Amino acid sequence: MTLFQRFCRIFRVNPWLVRMLIVFTVSGGCVLAFSEAKQENGMTSDSSEADSKKKKVVVLGTGWAGINFLKNLKNPSYDVQVISPRNYFAFTPLLPSVTCGTLEPRSIIEPVRNIVRKKNVNIHYWEAECFNIDAENKKVYCRSNIAGNLNEKEEIDVDYDYLVIAIGAPANTFNIPGVAENCHFLKELEDAQKIRRTVIDCFERASLPNLSDDERKRILHFVVVGGGPTGVEFSAGLHDYVKEDLVRLYPKVKEAVKITLLEATDHILNMFDKRITAYAEEKFQSDGIDVKTGAMVVKVSDKEILVKNGGRISTMPYGMVVWATGIGTRPVIRDFMKQIGQDNRRALATDEWLRVEGCDGIYALGDCATINQRRVMEDISDIFRKADKDNSGTLTVKEFQEVLDDIRERYPQVALYFKNKRMRTLVDLLNNSKGDAVKGSVEVNLEQFKSALSQVDSQMKNLPATAQVAAQQGSYLADCFNRMEKCERNPEGPLRFRGEGRHRFHPFRYKYLGQFAALGGEQTAAQFPGDWVSIGRISQWLWYSLYTSKLESWRSRASVISDWTRRFIFGRDSSCI
């Protein structure tokens, strides 16, 4: 038994040790946070008036993409205006914890003004919602969304030189009838708060005296649609909340509680390793969470949900449905796509540099955009021409090798193809392709080159709609903006195969850093690059520490740790507020 295993065992045998550890972590965190805060307070903001010569950058949205853009923007030669209906950034991976009262809503958010306050870049924030993008006149039209409280509507129009669209995406109802009216979503902080209240409301309603047993069971049937990380984490969190806290307060109704997780494909967590999927399904079964795979929702009425499972349609009475599957399109993006001829898409198409296709000076990142990768086959003649330096009509190994790095960078699918097939040179590529005429030859003509690369585009993949991608895109774009002038003079990107010279910047490249799925009961599944998988208590601690370290501020960190401590010691709160 290793020292580490022995250490873990001590904690398993004495669960109160875990609690004590948390208590000390909090105290330590507080002291640390205090010293940090002192330092921060020492700095004074010194923002000067906007310079009219500066380039105007308008950022729409303060989610992962927008905030990471703002945080990494360091070049003071821009005048930045941030427009978003929410004056805070929410750490969305912890949203499921808010739904079950483990964390307070305010713990996982950070005011935008706090984030941008100490920067040397001139950044203004306006609480408003963009309702129209006018690419022709380089203007966005916004409306103050404070109407609800102040009975006012205000319109603002803002000019831009560069527009960064990072407004995310709403949940996708797939136009299934009744979903928008009867389901809860889990995209915004307000959604999480509503779900929390509704869970308690269901328990309170089920406790009322004049109910039939069937009615009680209906009210306490919680249905989660979507077996992705959000749906799984919410189901697991709800199960823990019910088992650890609510049954003590509502002992009379505990038998009636049921949680059902509906997934349209064959397995939950299907973007994870098979080991994790299997473990999660097993754990949910032993926890009593009913996982129904291959189940498509057909309709949601106010008390029932219609589910199609292998051709058979069944009816499920429910108390609450949480819709955690797929992402849609915001109306302003849909209008904008029509305007620029990108109809019938879900998201804005951008090139590898995150520029919206067909527009000048407009960037889109995060969930509201997808990168439209260029196919090698589209450019194959240009690539061949560029590579064939001596214009001989054939490509030698040396000629190919000289442009291979540029090709790999411009067309990431080529890099992936070479890596998967363990190839390094043109000879490997030719050996791999089955064209007999090519084999043994060290030179290829265009047709042979085409046939050798014909399979390459099958390696193209869309990026997942995750916080990780959005955050990396935000940082990448800020880096480009920071070095705009420098790279204009000295382009650092790959060769332009269609045009002349080089691209200004390296194209955006997503770096997968791993993914978590909390399965409840202090068990978390983690998957890291290189097929490294970890499930259990250790990854739960990794989850705690990684998420804490990723939070925006020491205030937020201290709050989250103190919330966790509180829940360890006192359990979760059950007030309907």
Residue 516 DSSP symbol: E
The CA distance from 73 to 567, in Å, is 37
Contact at 8 Å (CB) between 108 and 88?
no
Residue 139's closest CA among 123, 166, 116, 159?
Answer: 159
CA triple 163-165-171, angle to 5 deg: 165
Q: What are phi and psi of 298, to 5 degrees?
A: -100, -40
Contact at 8 Å (CB) between 181 and 86?
no
Of 159 and 405, which CB lies nearer to its own copies in the complex structure? Answer: 159
Of 190 and 405, which CB lies nearer to its own copies in the complex structure? Answer: 190
Residue 291 DSSP symbol: E
Pairing of β 88-90 and β 109-111: antiparallel
* Nearest-approach distance from CB 182 to its own copies, in angstroms: 9
Tokens at 65, concatenated:
């993409």
Q: What are phi and psi of 445, to 5 degrees?
A: -95, 180
* Nearest-approach distance from CB 66 to its own copies, in angstroms: 15
H-helix segments, 221-325: 229-241, 247-249, 274-287
* Nearest-approach distance from CB 416 to its own copies, in angstroms: 41
Of 356 and 560, which CB lies nearer to its own copies in the complex structure? Answer: 560
* Nearest-approach distance from CB 504 to its own copies, in angstroms: 32
* Nearest-approach distance from CB 27 to its own copies, in angstroms: 4
Of 45 and 391, which CB lies nearer to its own copies in the complex structure? Answer: 45
Q: What HEC string does 441-481 produce?
A: CCEECHHHHHHHHCCHHHHCCCCCCCHHHHHHHHHHHHHHH
Burial class (CB in 10 A: 0-12, 13-18, 19+), 497: buried
* Nearest-approach distance from CB 558 to its own copies, in angstroms: 6
Residue 493 DSSP symbol: S
Residue 260's closest CA among 284, 290, 230, 280?
Answer: 290
Of 330 and 555, which CB lies nearer to its own copies in the complex structure? Answer: 555
Tokens at 452, concatenated:
């050798």
CA triple 407-408-410, angle to 5 deg: 65
Of 252 and 275, which CB lies nearer to its own copies in the complex structure? Answer: 252
* Nearest-approach distance from CB 148 to its own copies, in angstroms: 9
The CA distance from 98 to 553, in Å, is 18
Of 208 and 377, which CB lies nearer to its own copies in the complex structure? Answer: 208
* Nearest-approach distance from CB 557 to its own copies, in angstroms: 10
* Nearest-approach distance from CB 214 to its own copies, in angstroms: 15
Of 107 and 413, which CB lies nearer to its own copies in the complex structure? Answer: 107
Of 479 and 552, which CB lies nearer to its own copies in the complex structure? Answer: 552
Contacts of 94 (CB under 8 A, 6+ apart): 103, 108, 547, 560
Residue 195's closest CA among 90, 323, 309?
Answer: 323
* Nearest-approach distance from CB 159 to its own copies, in angstroms: 12
Pairing of β 122-127 and β 78-84: parallel
Tokens at 361, concatenated:
């000076």
Of 210 and 286, which CB lies nearer to its own copies in the complex structure? Answer: 210
Q: Which residue has the tokens 């650092």?
A: 492
* Nearest-approach distance from CB 158 to its own copies, in angstroms: 8
Of 1 and 13, which CB lies nearer to its own copies in the complex structure? Answer: 13
